[in-house]
Amino acid sequence: MGTEDDSRTPERRRRRTEVSARLGRESLAGSWRSRLASSVAWVAVTTLAVLLCDKIVPGFHADLPTGPIIFALVLAVVGQVLQPLMVAGAVLLGWVGVLVLAFVGQALVVMVAAWLLPRVHVDGFASALMVAIVVGLVGTVAGWLSTAGTSGTMVGGLVAQERRHPTRVPDPDVDGVVFVQLDGVPFPVLQMAINAGTVPTLARWVRGGTHLLREWTPKLPATTPASQMGILHGVIDGIPAFRWYDRAHDRVLVANKPKDAALIEASLTTGRGLLVDRGASISNLFTGDAPEATLTMSRRARAGSTSHRAVARFVLSPNGITRAVSRSISELARDRFQARRAVRRDLQPRCRRTWTTALLRSVTNGALRDINTVLVAQHMLRGTPAIYVDYVDYDEVAHHAGIMRPESLEALEAVDGVLHQLELVATCAPRKYHFVVLSDHGQAQGSTFRDRYGEELGALVSRLAQAGVTSAEDDIEGLGRAQVLVDELATGRGVGPRMMRGVSGAMRRGDEPGNEDPGVPERPGVEPPPSDVPEQTFHVFGSGNLGLIYVRGEKRLLTRQQIEQRFPGLVDGLARHPGIGFVVVTDETEGPVALGGEGSHRLADGRVEGTDPLAPFGPLAAEFVLRVAARDETPDIYVNSIVEPGTEDVAAFEGLVGCHGGLGGWQDRAVVVVPTDLPFPSTRVIGADAMHVALRSILHHLGHRRGLDSTEPTADAVLSQALRTTKRHATRSSTGDG
């Protein structure tokens, strides 16, 4: 990567010494009694583990009294010697090779250690594997006892790795940026957490004056696909919700399906995304045009060993795989306990929490969090100039528990701990790093539409229109993350990757359209139309408390008059429903209009008749709705749920107690924490495209993107263009053209 100035070598040694000292201070933060107790517990538990193996593992024996202690010491030495070979082998075998060698490699370590010691006997591979599993689990428990509350174990390993293999970058004077997305965290939630001190790293940054805490406003729809496309690529048009109907090709697009994500990015990217200049995308929906992307929906990781090697080092470390497994199991158990506790206490609002949601949480808040952190740290130690990573921990829990429930805030606290880990890693990196923390949107809360009114949006449309409906109102965000993880495991050659490609194919076939329905399966609760009524199929999608209704087979947006002629009473019935705040349709003479039960709002000029249905949704509601009301991807009918006065509760069309997508509550109240020594707008950023410009300006200020930003629009140009586009669509709609 070039030659680093020799004068920087002492500086990096000094930084490593500071990290070691800091980790030492953390480890000494407790009383001497607690440290002594942890050390004694570690020795006792490890000895008991070997004794336990001697009793329960057939074919294993360690002679007393010194056999167990000597065996443990030799295990550590052999593990350190063989680990580089196992890492190299895992890289060659691919992602599945990492998982296989995590167990097989440790069994090999046991066999080699036993071969070196006459007092220890292992009959074969099966016995060695069982010993490796037991000792690994015990090592994890001992690790938690000896390093509880600190980041010493993971950070210490990363620092040691950098010391052995230092990276030299050609431009060490150019600072790097790590963009950390706290998925779905509302500004008020993070503000309260900082005030309460439950996120100590962020609280230290903000209170210490090194960072500013700001609120920003994503536009409609308040979803990860729209916001990430805006933040990473500077484009917010073309994505009307989390999933929608593509009229031109008679198909359903779902943003967190890898095939669809790739299609969406290819059609919208300018080729000059936020990460185009040697950046890295980790665990995102879109790449930001980064040369390197891992666990990213729109692009499978390219051939190469960087990501494989980073994960291999983590998994093949003494406690790596058991750490990941034990944390995932812990999250699973906690979710089931918390779900049952919510039922016993009759906490409201509440949604159904299943084993599936618990398993998804165990992945995102267990193994995936550590994998993301290892990948980010690896890129920092390599000197990657710009890194963007998405931590979905809070979003995944808040969807099913609620935005202010203890388990949701605990997930936020855990990611704050990750920031501390990365902060320590940064002190050993070959370039200085700045941390920008932001959420892609906020989140609102409330009982679901189905729980409130006894039917889903699809069933309501079917009843009012007397027509068949295919409806998609299930939560599928977490399932998409599982899909992309499987896709990454399928990268490479060999039996393991081939097997995972089969699993990936099976998951995709479950989402593929059938012969009769190019979208999603019909919901069980939706009644078929009467036999004497011609069937007219609707596509109905729930995206939080935002509903999208399309007439299938139409190549163009239907007007209000066309809908009423074919489905009398549908639009009026939706507008007057007590659970719906407003309905948006395009009138042939008035253009886009928002309709409520007691009034209407003409979006082109702001004319209101009766009670303004947009009034409860804030001063920007009309502007946001107008922007999305007359585009090619706009549904024939947009539906937004009510927002309760006082509580600001909404009614999600999905089975989620915490939701985002439409208007109401805190879902359009996102947060950004930015260093005070970097340029950032003094006024509130409105729109993910404007946030892209602000973050791009930070990179430009630090010396990134040379030769790119001179031809890119400024923030003022972006806002002016958005205004012109809005007016153009309003004019076209009012004349009936398009």
pLDDT digits (tens, 9 = 90+) for 295-312: 888 876 554 446 666 665
Among 180, 102, 203, residue whose Cα is nearest residue 372: 180
What's the CA gap between 580 and 612, in Å, rounded? 14
Q: Which range scores top for mean pLDDT: 41-55, 145-159, 340-354, 434-448?
A: 434-448
Average pLDDT, whole number, for the chain? 79
Query: 19: which residues sit within 8 A by CB, 6+ positions away?
Result: 155, 159, 424, 427, 428
Q: Which helix (H) or strand (E) holds 675?
A: strand 670-675
Give pLDDT, residue 89: 59
Contact 299/293 with Cβ under 8 angstroms?
yes
Q: How far apart are CA 179 and CA 438, in angstroms?
A: 8
State the pLDDT at residue 612.
Answer: 97
Pick the most confident of 8-12, 63-67, 150-154, 700-704. Answer: 700-704
What pLDDT does 688 receive? 96
pLDDT of residue 595: 97
Is residue 15 within 8 A of residue 428, CB to CB? The reply is yes
What average pLDDT does this structure show over 18-24? 53
How far does CA 600 lie from the centroid of its chain?
37
Region 563-572: what's the mean pLDDT? 95
Phi, psi for residue 380 in degrees, rounded to 5: -65, -45
Per-residue pLDDT, 235:
93
Average pLDDT over residues 435-454: 96
| Structure confidence at residue 67 (pLDDT) | 76
Residue 474: is its pLDDT beyond 80?
Answer: no
Q: Are 605 and 591 in contact (CB under 8 A)?
A: no
Is the pLDDT at 460 greater than 90, yes or no? yes
Give the Cα separation of 492 and 469 in Å (integer): 42
- Amino acid 514: pLDDT: 37
For residue 394, pLDDT beyond 50: yes
- Give 63's contacts (C-beta < 8 A, 6+ positions apart): 119, 120
Q: What is the largest distance, in Å, between two alpha-carbon atoms of the chain?
A: 92
Mean pLDDT of 93-120: 71
- d(CA 229, CA 260) in angstroms, rounded, equals 13
Tens digit of each residue's pLDDT (9 = 90 or more) over 196-208? 999 999 999 999 9
Per-residue model confidence (pLDDT) at position 573: 96
- How do strand 538-543 and strand 546-551 relate by DSSP bridges? antiparallel
pLDDT of residue 186: 98
Strand partners, 686: 217
Say which residues have a Cβ less than 8 Å from residue 558's Cβ, sequence separation at least 6: 551, 586, 636
311-315, 386-390, 515-519: least confident range: 515-519
Q: Token pair of 206, please?
A: 């903000």
pLDDT at residue 473 in the model: 52
User: Mean pLDDT over residues 258-286, rounded?
Assistant: 93
Q: Which tops the pLDDT comparison, 488 or 115?
A: 115
pLDDT at residue number 40: 54
Cα 86 to Cα 112: distance, rounded to the nearest angstrom = 14
- 8 A C-beta contact, residue 154 and residue 373: yes
- Which of the given ranges, 42-56, 78-92, 337-351, 575-589, has the highest pLDDT on average? 575-589
Least confident piece of the model among 33-37, 419-423, 727-731: 727-731
pLDDT at 459: 93
* Helix extents (H) in 165-296: 187-196, 200-207, 224-233, 258-268
Lowest mean pLDDT among 90-99, 221-230, 408-417, 605-614: 90-99
pLDDT at 675: 98
Confidence of residue 602 (pLDDT cuts 50, 70, 90): very high
Question: Region 114-129: what's the mean pLDDT?
Answer: 85
Measured distance CA(309)–CA(290) in Å, rounded: 19
Long-range contacts of 453-456 (CB under 8 A, 24+ apart): 453/577, 453/578, 453/579, 453/651, 455/525, 456/523, 456/525, 456/526, 456/542, 456/653
Segment 341-347 shows an average pLDDT of 82
> Between 99 and 303, where is the model more confident?
99
Q: Is the pLDDT of residue 516 over 50?
A: no
CA distances from 20 to 145, 155, 164, 701 (A): 20, 9, 15, 32
* Torsion on CA atoms 176, 182, 187, 188, rounded to nearest 10: -130
Where do the DSSP E strands lie in 507-615? 538-543, 546-551, 580-587, 591-595, 599-602, 607-610
pLDDT at 111 over 80: yes
User: What does the pLDDT average to over 169-188?
Assistant: 95
pLDDT at 521: 35
Residue (of 590, 31, 490, 98) closest to 316 by Cα position:
98
Most confident of 56-65, 207-216, 329-338, 536-545: 207-216
d(CA 177, CA 678): 11
Q: Higher confidence at residue 45 or residue 34?
A: 45
Tell me the backbone φ, ψ of residue 681, rounded to 5 degrees.
-55, 140
Q: Which two tokens stand for residue 710?
A: 């001179």
213-222, 305-314, 387-396, 447-456: least confident range: 305-314
Tokens of 431: 């370039």
What's the CA gap between 363 and 379, in Å, rounded? 22
Q: Which of 144-158, 254-268, 348-362 has the highest mean pLDDT?
A: 254-268
Residue 496 has pLDDT above 70, yes or no: no
Highest mean predicted confidence (pLDDT) among 48-52, 121-125, 474-478, 632-636: 632-636
Mean pLDDT of 19-36: 50
* pLDDT band, very low/low/confident/very high, at 726 (cuts 50, 70, 90): very low
Interval 512-520 mean pLDDT:
36
- Tokens representing 184 are 């779905």
Poorest-confidence range of 48-62, 275-289, 448-462? 48-62
Q: What is the mean pLDDT of residues 283-287?
A: 93
Which residues face 582 on adjacent strands? 640
- Distance from chain centroid for Cα 649: 24
Measured CA distances, 77 to 14, 54, 63, 105 (Å): 28, 21, 20, 14
pLDDT exceeds 60 at position 227? yes
Q: Return the percentage of the chain with pLDDT > 70, whole number.
A: 69
Query: Helix, strand or coil for residue 24?
Result: helix
Residue 725 pLDDT class (50, 70, 90 cuts): very low
Looking at residue 198, its amino acid is T
- Give the closest residue to 467 by CA, choosing from 550, 545, 394: 550
Instruction: Report the alpha-carbon distance of residue 662 to residue 623 in Å, rounded.
Output: 14
Exposed (0-12), middle (13-18) or buried (19+): which is 713, by Cβ within 10 Å? middle
8-state DSSP, 711:
G
CA distance 465 to 462: 5
Read off φ and ψ for residue 165, nearest 5 degrees.
-130, 70
> Which of 223-227, 268-272, 707-711 shows the lowest mean pLDDT across its residues?
707-711
What's the whole-number mean pLDDT along residues 240-254? 90
